Structure formats: C-alpha cells, structure tokens
Amino acid sequence: MIYVILGSLGFLVIHLLDIASLKRIPGLKPLTLIAGNGLVVYAAVMACLAPDKLSLPPWTGWLGWVLLPASLFMLVYSLFLNLPFKKTYVSQGAGPLVTGGLYALVRHPGVHWFALAMLALVLASGSSLMLIAAPIWVGLDVILAAIQDRFFFGKMFADYDSYRRRTPMLIPNRRSLSAFIHSLKQGGRTPEGRLP
C-alpha cells in the first residue's frame, strides 16, 4: 500500500508546478516535474511488480501490452510535445495558453491518456495492487485537473475563461471535435492562428 501513497504524493508534487508558475519561484518548476513524475513512475513500477496477481485470461495481458505504448505515447505527446516544454515546465511563470491540437478537443487531454495507461498497466501486469492504485490515481488526476481548472489556470492565462467556455474539460462534444479537426488541418495551430 506504500506504493499507492507514494504515487498519490507524486501527483501532489507535480501540481506544485502551478504554484511555482504563479509565484515565479526559480528552479521549482523542473524540480517538481522531475520529483513528482519520478514518484509516480516508481510507484507504478513497484505496484506492477507486487506478487499478488489477479486471475485474468491470458489475452488481457496482450491487450495491456498493446495499449501501454500507445497510451504512454499519447500521454507524453499531450503533456510534453503539444505544450511547449521549456516554457511550460522550465521557464519562470506560465507558458502560453495552448488551445490547438489535443487541447482543442478537451482542456485536460492528459487525463484520458493517463487513465488508459493505468488500465494497460493493470492488464499487462495482472497486479492486485495496481488494480487498487489505478482508480485512486486516476481519480486524483481528475480532482487535481478540476482544481487547476477552477483555481489556477484562470490566474495563469489571460484568455482561459474564453477557452473554458468553448472547450469542454474532459468529455469532447461536437463543437470541440470540429475545433480539433480544424486544428489538425491547420497543422496544430490554435484557433487564433498561433503555433503552440
């Protein structure tokens, strides 16, 4: 159970990045990113390696191994490539508001890919502990995304209220799907024509 707690602590550390962005604390953004992600990854690996295993059919392990690289690629893409890495995670202050690419579809696309990665880890590892950890961490990710959305991003980005009105938080709708497709046709440009 210690790994579930360590992973949860990792999420809290990662979200200190928002406070570091608002307060413009030098060096804290990359530190929170490395420490928080390190805790989550370590906890997930250790939870997967826990000896208590689920009784799952063999095909679920194969499905997990197919879903895992796809979900991890999309998670990395949404958080570290669709967003400008240096401005978002290294430089002082908040980076630019990105409204194109996956961020035209929903305001927090990383939540979907993280949830899919957790499902993939449960299936691939067959770990009972991972089955406990995954819904806790996904729930924590959703709660922290809601906190970011409500309390931080409006202060960090001047146009966030307008973006919030036109783009759903987690569940795509017809309008956001259209904006996403339009963004892809524009080469990932935002509706305002800027590259992220």
95 pLDDT more than 90: no
Per-residue pLDDT tens for 44-92? 999 999 999 999 999 999 999 999 999 999 999 999 999 988 888 888 8
36 pLDDT more than 90: yes
Rounded-to-integer distance, Cα 115 and Cα 71, Å? 9
Instruction: Report phi then psi at 101, rounded to 5.
Output: 65, -140
Rounded-to-integer distance, Cα 15 and Cα 156, Å? 14
Per-residue pLDDT tens for 4-26? 999 999 989 988 888 888 888 87
Flag whether 13 is in a domain. Answer: yes
- The number of beta carbons lying within 10 Å of the beta carbon of residue 69 is 11
Look at residues 116, 121, 106, 101 and name the one whose alpha carbon lies nearest to residue 48.
Answer: 121
For 135-164, give the DSSP string: HHHHHHHHHHHHHIIIIIHHHH-TTHHHHH
Flag whether 55 is in a domain. Answer: yes
26, with CB counted inside 10 A (0-12, 13-18, 19+), is exposed
pLDDT of residue 188: 56
With a pLDDT cut of 70, the percent of the chain lying above it is 95
Q: Please give the residue range of the domain that contains residue 36.
A: 2-185
Per the structure block, which two tokens stand in for 112? 């979907």
Binned at pLDDT 50, 70 and 90, residue 158 comes out as confident
Per the structure block, which two tokens stand in for 167? 């783009």
150, with CB counted inside 10 A (0-12, 13-18, 19+), is exposed
> Between helices 2-14 and 128-147, what is the axis angle to 10°?
20
Residue 44 near residue 7, CB atoms below 8 Å: yes
170 pLDDT more than 80: yes
Maximum alpha-carbon separation in the chain: 52
Flag whether 130 is in a domain. Answer: yes
Flag whether 195 is in a domain. Answer: no
What is the domain count for the chain?
A: 1
**Spatial CB neighbours of 32, under 8 Å, sequence gap ≥ 6:** 13, 14, 15, 16, 17, 20
Flag whether 181 is in a domain. Answer: yes
C-beta contacts of 175-179 below 8 A and 24+ residues apart: 176/104, 176/105, 176/106, 177/105, 179/104, 179/105
What is the domain-level CATH number for residue 6? 1.20.120
